[in-house]
Structure 1
């Protein structure tokens, strides 16, 4: 390799080809270009043409320089120049490439691939064998192992198939593989690290250093992977949490709450304060939306650690209802259990039984009616259960009134499973011996879990148990009566909650239990509780979906085993995270349990404590760039440019040649007075002002035309109507017509069209004198115009008064030579030109179709003027998909079909004349044929 500092050549011997450039210069200079080829033009274009008699004897000097530059670029590109070339590999042995392929490396995996590819290219240039070592366990749960000596090309193939894994690296096992490695000489060792510390990192680096000089590539602090932790709960809200490795300075990220359908439900910022490695974000969502969250993901990071899956632990709320049966079950309408069961069953997994039976199962909430008496042992077990995250829901009633005043942990004795201290006795609101009236609920406070619930007007409280006043009573009160006394109080105990309704769960003290508000309040209380893990009974859960290294869920491979779910709660052994149990969902249709990577990763710390003598660098520092593709691409571009220049010098690139020829053809046709079949020659004065492009468009194909009125809606219907008629003509007849064209009277020539459709509108200005002369010229030389008044009915006389459309028609045709008109005769050829027709419906029916009366007509019997009012373009009009744009009345599809048939007859009549009118010889022909 030839090195010039910032530039080096991997194949310097190819630079010798530059010595051949002078010879190439001489060869190109003596080779004349091909003679220019001139096409023989039309005879009328020969005037003034000077044919050059000489061709260049030599290639132009600037073209020579361009071609020499192209050859120089090719030579330099094949020499493989390198920008910022890496230093030569140290040592006399192979290059050892160590790659961290655990979950943390997935964040900037392409950068690691580029760095590894550059290193392999360097080893290939220096003809060094390569040893590959990945530090994460294999998918078959095999420990890391070295690959042995490989050619650089084979190592590159293995690198292309390498992907990050969704579990941590095992550097202690990788160290054992390094210590078992035996090589000749000293190796050049490069460690592509994920930048995070792990058990055994220092020993692993020391083992690598014993093989040769060690270079470590790492990410900068801001590029290290984050770890999404399992969320906490604050009331009814979820709190997303995330870890970062380096606590220096402040940084910011964001967490996305994603539903099961892949849609983003909400986004919340994660702010890392200086010196802090954990950030929290409150997800303030309604309960229904919170329960739709399937996973939390750190925005912009594609790693298995940046995603935490949620399961029923954050949604499933099993509720235990303490029930004693007996008389209450026999009289359900008097039983508190009946009302609680009716309110809770629609949205919870309800379980009934004794305290002992219920606490043996997994519960999120324990509902305790007032009629239940607890033993000291049951109180202790419930208190321990609440401290570990349970929610105890209690109700007041006659039993609590009979108990001595007590409450809360602050009470010296009595019932310590109450959120507040209670007064002795109860308060009766309303009755024959009281002055009070039943109380209503006050609006819920903004910080209450019931904050956004609507208060019905018919809910009243007749009796309640009062709380002892205290400094923190306001903080513990979730609901009040209109006089300010607490109705619902709550207190945090350990990891759990104590919640008390200061009235009964049945209708003895209020009508709250039979209202919809009671169900909504209980739903909010359930949402505060902590979820529980799926109760699999200790059975193994098969994999449903597992993550790859980039945090994407997919079908589990055959190497993934079922998940053991004993855990601490079940007293059994829980499966670790690894190749046999990657992060993902495990279970079945009725139970999905999340297996998250963050549960098995304690903390994140940057990679530190490397031995002395180890050099470190960032992935982005001075990357080596191969200039070969850029130079060859530039040579190819210039070669294409040279090709175009050569074609231009030979006269093969004549801009507009084809168009000019077509224009000449059109001019020749106009000069000879030729047009489409059935068309009259154009006026010479108008032909001089005609645009060549539009002339060709009109003459090279038979087209129908319409008069543009200036009303965009009417003009669009005219265009769509004639377009629909043109499509029908193509399907049913031999006429192959092009798309219709709009014409402006006085500007565009009408001579190219066999038939012109003229819709009559009130806003259309009267034609100018030039337009009138143009129309008269068109009618005198065989053209046909269909005037359409577009009315549902028309007067009997066209020019003798009648409808508004008739008046507009008289205004627009003032000065036009209108011949005498008559209704279409019964035996007229228009009724049998293609279809046999009795009338001529359009979008409307009932109007009379008038045409030029027979006389000394020189246009093969074709009338020059037709006038009607049935809005035929509206019936023919279709959109781009061929669907009708307007309704036809009153006949529907049958009427539209007859309108199309009239259009076909009209076009055939305008194109072919009255040849079908000669029917006199038909009987004799049939007789001759023996029929």
Structure 2
């Protein structure tokens, strides 16, 4: 038996009042003179016995009346199997928390976990009366009504629940249910949690607001972890991607089991065609990298997937990715006053592309930079600008931060301290130009190439490895005049260093973009580089590297989770559209930034896994990949004891575990019914209190004490 209003039990102290009155109420017997004392003593003994019996009976009736009255206000409830046979039904407010994450699609001897969960929930709801109220919460978050439901309607809602990759953790759903019960109409509050108690679902630390006491029940389904191998990541390793040229990519596989797997097969598909396959031995719970080399068959935005062998959890057996193989790259060259960019323009001309990706080159004077937005170009070259205003510096720094590529070459105008570039270099997290070495046009050698980072992606596929395994021979042009750069930032790397120790080609990474600083201008007065065979491939690869830095692949988002997508475009252009893998078209919320559009994708927009296309008119401007959250692949389940401990912290109340694994839904519901509070007895106790009070009145008024009768008789005989 439990009490729904236990604080009223303090009123039981009132039961002491009749006891105190009884103990201190002593009748003094009246003295009566008789000639014979034998008869009087016998009569006195009999009378006192009847008086004591009456007093004890009155005391008992008064105590019982007070106890029953106090118990009625404390609202006693009966639990257990006999609850249905005694008392009236207690109105209840119940919250059911149902796990409908993707792991609930697993199966055991009793069938699919989610089907078991829905059967258990339906059986529990049928235990309530129509006047009770039901709250539903799922780990998917917003797929069920939030307010109280009638039992009949709640059953219909439960049947419509589907497995989803969306939503919140189990602890957040339980906390939401507990908070909903704080506003419930009835004081008999219960929460039922049906889940496979996957460890991930209970990883968050959440605590509901402390309020009215609730009774909580955990009903685990499933019961044991199942082996699963997952593709948790796909990465494009090549920084330069061209049609018909090899591209390196790698996939990360994880074996969520206790035993290793050998010879596990993984395949790469591009535009629906299998292009590569590899095998790997995967140790338990250790990420394993699998490398592939594929050749894109065409250009544009391509959709791909890494696929592994099918297992019990199919949602992570393939991971989607996108690959951008551009047909052309848009390059903006900002030519400083008096600078010669002829060699650079020739190196980037379509005539020298020879079947490779061509550049669309636009050349403007430095005076036109303020009126030309760099966001319309894949890469920008600032060739010896003599003046850069603070506004132009800010625009270029923002362009790099947003994912753009910038190539800087020094000016021939004798800017000895390089102050025009230093402000820009500082804005992108770089160092400073402290001066120049040599003399312009003197052809007096001051240095040549010393160390070249041939492993850098910029040189990928440029040099052939020597048969003996030695490093390839790289041209070493003479340098006659060069800027002296002093690195200061942490995101810098010297790709080519001169023999005097100064950087010749310096890479500066800034947020999502990259800057390349060349120590010489593309001018034959600075060095012999423009007339050497290395110049054209170096300029081509540098500009391709810069223009492809952010766009070789599209973004990857977790399924059914809100996301933001940034698409470079000019303000005021037509709205962008999102087309899903099933052909469904969606216009997301979007707002214009300075040089891009920011798309806000809600859960429904990216609910399905697969590749999504972003359209501007009839043109695909971006492809994104949507996959299940890699954390969901770990099928590790908690012990019921540990799950109970974590949930107890969430609801701030004891949690009872009702084993559901291996039992039918009906058996589980029956086990819960035997434990839950179901019958209130306050009416019965109130009726008993009234009966005891009526009996007390009857005894007090209807049963005259024999002592008075005897006294009057005795008084009459003695007169």
When the two structures are superposed, what TM-score results if normalisation uses the length of structure 1? 0.40
The structure that has the greater radius of gyration is 1
Is the strand fraction higher in 1 or 2?
2
TM-score (normalised: structure 2): 0.49
